[in-house]
Amino acid sequence: MTEYEHPYEQARREIVASLLPAGERRLALDVGCGPGVYSRLLAEAGWRVEAIDADAENLQHARPHAAATYLGDAVDILPTLPERRFDLVLALEIIEHMPLARGETLLREIRRVLAPGGTLILSTPNRFSPEGLVGYYLNEKIRHARAWQAWDPSHVHIYSSPEILRLLRRAGFSIVSVTGYWYETRLSWLGRVALPLVSTRRFPLNRFGFQLIVESRR
């Protein structure tokens, strides 16, 4: 089973798909496209797709679904693209892989290439989730255990839900919807604890999912 075939990833893909407007041959940008799973999803929804990734092999997988691909770091590639070019941008699981200041630059550059009224769909792990509250606040900050990286050592900065929403607004976006996804954690004295909730857009519970999937508009 590949990572993207895992039930967790399949359910997350369904949430993203539910947020996609009809493509109608308009132009979308998949930032940090990985092996092209979401580029394909966009193409199947009727979008013309362009994709950015720092891995040449990933772009090889994305090319069947993308009219154009760009090899390199997204923060370096975005300034080379025309202003107001795209009606939709996906930035899924990318902003946590860079320092705060670079993440803010990423969002400002995404806004620059979005057409007025264009949509950004962003997903990122959440420090205010049950996993983060235990892993970051209890284990790392109080018990001084190793740094909590949301299960990925390549993560540089894990945002809290208020923090990423503030950053989006500061970059000039208005928030349309926030979906929290996956509500469980591990406790050393109890093992895995799963809440009776998979995903929700209802405030305030949507601010506490392990994943935040945020729909915002330029």
What is the per-residue DSSP string for 117-153?
A: EEEEEEEEEBTTSHHHIIIIIIIIIIS--SPP-TT-T
Q: Write down the pLDDT at residue 5.
A: 73
- Mean pLDDT across the chain: 94
| Residue 190 banded pLDDT, cuts 50, 70, 90 | low
Please check the confidence at residue 189 and state whether its pLDDT lies above 70: no
Q: In terms of pLDDT, which residue wins out, 151 or 212?
A: 212
Query: What is the pTM assigned to this prediction?
Result: 0.95
pLDDT in tens, 35-84: 999 999 999 999 999 999 999 999 999 999 999 999 999 999 999 999 99
Query: What is the percent of the chain with per-residue pLDDT over 70, rounded to a whole number?
Result: 97
Q: Are residues 99 and 157 in contact, defined by beta-carbon separation less than 8 angstroms?
A: yes
Number of folded domains that form the chain: 1
Residues 148 and 185: beta-carbon distance below 8 Å: no
What H or E segment, with its residue span, contains residue 168? helix 161-170
- Beta partners for 86? 114
What CATH number did the domain enclosing 133 receive? 3.40.50.150
Domain around 172: 3-217
